[in-house]
Amino acid sequence: QQQQQQQQQQGGGRRRRRQHSSSHQEHHSYWNNRPLMPWDWTKCSKTGLAKAPRSHFDKVTKRLVLQMDHYCPWLFNTVGWANYRYYLMFQFHLVTSTLYIIIMTARPFWIVVHSPSTYKSKGGGGGG
């Protein structure tokens, strides 16, 4: 106990992280990448239906969504496994079109701002 107290005082109370063996890492990689089995499914407490692993109940649409990411109000849908590709394509086209609009309007805007004498009305300022 005294040795442990001395080690804690010297180390600032931090515990060292235990080094895992390669078999331990292999064990975890197997469990993270193994195929899904029927006993991995549970029952959803909200709907009472069978709930697949990595699925979540969406409060907005009131349904189970496999690998639910978030609810997107722009798509008016929940982003999950079935439509994640379409969501990414939507984001890509949104950014691309925004950049296109900025590039196409930058030059005319620059011309208008830096040569205002061309667009001023000529005359005495009164309407005559």
Known catalytic residues are 72
Pairing of strands 55-58, 50-51: unpaired
Cα-to-chain-centroid distance, residue 85:
13
76-106 burial string, b = 16+ CB within 10 Å, else e? ebbbbeebeeebeeeeeeeeeeeeeeeeeee
Dist CA 60 CA 75 (whole Å): 13
